[in-house]
Amino acid sequence: MNDMKQFAGEYRAAMDRHLATHSRLADVRAALVNEPVRRRVPFRTMALVAAPSLAAAALLLWMFLPGSLSFTMGAKDVPGKEGAWLSAQRADLPLHFTDGTTVILRTGADGRIDAINEDGVRMSLNRGDARFHVIHRDNIAWFVNAGPYRVRVVGTQFELAWTPENRMFSLRLHEGEVTVDGPGMRQQRVTPGFVLQGQADSGRVVLTPAAAVTAIPSPAPLAPAVAIDPDTAATTPPGQTVARGKIQAVSRPSEWQQLAREARYEDALTAARRAGWDRLLSRLDERDLFALGETARLAGAVNDALVVYRQVRARFEGTATAADAAFMIGRLKQAGGDVAGSLSWYEICLRESPAGRSAPDAAGRRMEALHKTGDLDDAARAAADYLQKWPKGSYAALAQQLVQTNR
C-alpha cells in the first residue's frame, strides 16, 4: 500500500509539474510518457487498491499511456478524423497529435491524414508547405507523401513544400534525419542544415546547404477573396479566376467546402446538394471533385461517395486522382462486405499509379482481400511483393505472416 501511495504521489506531482508548463493535453501526455519511472509497483498491490483517489490516479495513468494515435485541429483543438480533407485556406492550420507531434499547414496549403493508428501516421501534402516537429517513438512510423515523393520521418523538425503546378518538391531539415524516395532518388538521406529539391518530371535532384537557399519554394499566395456570384463560387476551383464582364474575381470556398474543412461532413453534403449536385459533378475540378467524394464518404453516404469517385474516373481518366478514386471505391466495397469485388479496384489503382500515394494501401488491402477470399497462394505472392516495395509499411506484419505461413 505504501508503494502504491508513493507511486500515486509521484505521478500526481509529475502531472502538476507538466500542467504548469504545457498548455495542451497532448503536450502533457507526451511529457508524462517520457517521465522516468522511479519504481515499479507490484501488479497484485495495484489490483488490491480500491481507494477512490488511487482509482482516479489509475484512470489518469491509463489516459496518458501510449496507445492509438489521434489528433486535433486548430487553436480550438477540434478532433481530427482519418481521411479528413485539411485546408489552411486563410491562416495557418496547426495539427496536434497525442504523441506530442505538431504539424503546421501554412496558409494556402492543403493535405490529408491518410492513415493514423498505433503503428504511426501517413499523411499527404497535396499543395503548399508545412512545418513538422515529429516526436520520436519506438515502433511508430511517420510517412509524408508530396506528389510522387515519399518522406520517411524518425523524429525530427523539417519544412516541406510541394507545388503541383510545376511539380517542384523541397525539404529543409532543421533537426534529426529523414529519407526521401521519389523521381531521381531512392532512400535519399537528408541531414540537418541541408535543403533537398526535386523536379518530378525531369527527375532532377539537388541537395544544397541551407545557407545557400533563402527560402523553400511554395505556391504563390492566394489573391484576396472578393464577393462573387454564388453560382460561380460553387463551381470555380479555389485560386482560379472567372470572367464576369470586365471584372476578374477570385472565388472563395463554397459553403460545402468550408463546412467540410470544419469536419462538418453531413452539413457539407447537405450544402453540396443544395448548391446543385449534378452541376457540381459535371463542373468541379479534379481536386475539388475528389474532395466532394471524401465529404460524402466521411458523412456516411456511401452510395453518394461511389457516384462521385466514379465521376472522378470518368472525367479525369489517366490521372493520379483517378487512381486514388479507384482505391477508394475498392475500400468502400471491402468495408461493405464485398471483399471479392474490391480486388479489381485495388488492382486498377496499382496498375494506373504503381508509385502513387494510394499504392501502399491498395497493395496491402489487396493482399488482405486475397487472404480473406481463401486465395492463399496469390495472397502470399502479393505479400512478398509488398515486403519488397514497402518493408516497413502499415501491412508489413500481415505480409510477413502470410509469407511464413505459405512456406
Model confidence pLDDT, tens digit, residues 265-307:
889 899 999 999 999 999 999 888 998 998 898 888 999 999 9
- Is the four-CA dihedral 4, 10, 14, 20 of positive or negative sign? positive
What does DSSP assign to residue 150?
A: E
pLDDT of 54 reads 46
Domain boundaries, the chain: 2-64, 71-212, 230-405
Q: State the cell numbers at 266.
A: 453531413
| Mean pLDDT, all residues of the chain | 76
CATH number of 71-212: 2.60.120.1440
Apex CA 390: angle with CA 388 and CA 393, to 5°? 140
Q: What CATH class has 230-405? A: mainly alpha
User: Could you give the C-alpha distances from 291 to 112, 151, 180, 263, 294, in angstroms and in order?
Assistant: 10, 23, 27, 12, 5
Going by the DSSP 8-state scheme, the letter that residue 38 receives in this structure is -
For 276, list phi and psi in degrees, rounded to 5: 110, 90
Residues forming a β-bridge with 111: 86, 125
Q: Are 207 and 194 in contact (CB under 8 A)?
A: yes
| 24-81 tens-digit pLDDT | 444 555 555 455 544 444 444 444 444 444 444 444 443 444 456 889 988 778 888 8
Residues 358 and 390: their CA atoms lie apart, in Å, by: 13
pTM comes to 0.47
Confidence of residue 223 (pLDDT cuts 50, 70, 90): very low
78-79 and 168-175: which strand pairing? Answer: unpaired
